[in-house]
Structure 1
Amino acid sequence: MYQIVVCNCPNNDIAKTIANSLVAKKLAACVNIMPTMTSVYHWQDEIYCDEEVMLLIKTKTSAFVDLEQTIIKLHPYDVVEIIALNIQQGNELYLNWINNTVKN
């Protein structure tokens, strides 16, 4: 019923734009913007090492499709990292808050 969605962004400005949009549209109850990290990855037959900013998005599973589409529209990457992890357990009051905040 609840998920944490992970999404990496190329910089803090894009991360804030996506986070604000998701919360304003009530697709996420909360989005944490994690500080700059280094990502090492394979893309188009080359290895890259770039700085990125991670979003930890708290939402409901029923909001995932709209959340994913919103991220894709605002994100500059050709292939956007959007990975949903189901929340197995959590503080009941916190989960109720997510439930009451997210529209879907």
Structure 2
Amino acid sequence: MNPDAALLVLISCPPDAAEALAAALVEARLAACVNVLPGLRSVYRWQDAVERADESLLIAKTTAARYAALEAGVRQRHPYELPEVVAVDIAAGLPAYLQWLVAAVR
């Protein structure tokens, strides 16, 4: 994969941890930008039980070259034992925005 390939990384977390995690990722240049979407309600299976949790969704923009470091940064700072960290390729976008994204995480 091209190291400058742009990615969206979805990260769910408790609302009280969302802002700090988003800021830490941007400050460390692991993400160019992180959107914090409050009001998420998650229903999931964990240790053989169906759980429900109020969460925030973080949408981080990074590159393939920075993904491993971003994942490590999330694992280090996230309060969950097994955080959701899912990357999706950005197939297309405004060229100037994508150039900014790449420069912001270098």
**Interval of TM-score (by shorter of Structure 1 and Structure 2):** over 0.9
Match in the other structure for 2:99: 96
Give every structure 1 segment of 4 or more consecutive aligned residues whose post-TM-superposition deviation is greater than 3 Å.
Answer: none
Match in the other structure for 2:52: 49
User: Residues 65-90 of structure 1, C-alpha deviation per residue, up to 9 Å, x if partnerless?
Assistant: 11001100110111110000010100
User: Residues 7-60 of structure 1, C-alpha deviation per residue, up to 9 Å, x if partnerless?
Assistant: 00012x311111111111111110000012110000111101111100000011
TM-score normalised to structure 1 length: 0.95
User: Residues of 1 paired with 2:12 and 2:20: CA distance?
Assistant: 13
Matched, 1:66 2:73: no
Matched, 1:40 2:43: yes
Gaps of at least 5 residues in structure 1 are none
- Identical-residue share of aligned pairs (%): 37
Matched, 1:83 2:86: yes
Give the one of 14, 21, 24 matched to 1:21.
24
Match in the other structure for 2:12: 8
TM-score normalised to structure 2 length: 0.93
The alignment covers a number of residue pairs equal to 102
**What displacement does 1:6 show?**
0.2
User: Residues of 2 paired with 1:8 and 1:43: CA distance?
Assistant: 15
Gaps of at least 5 residues in structure 2 are none
- Specify the code of the residue in structure 2 equivalent to 1:95: L
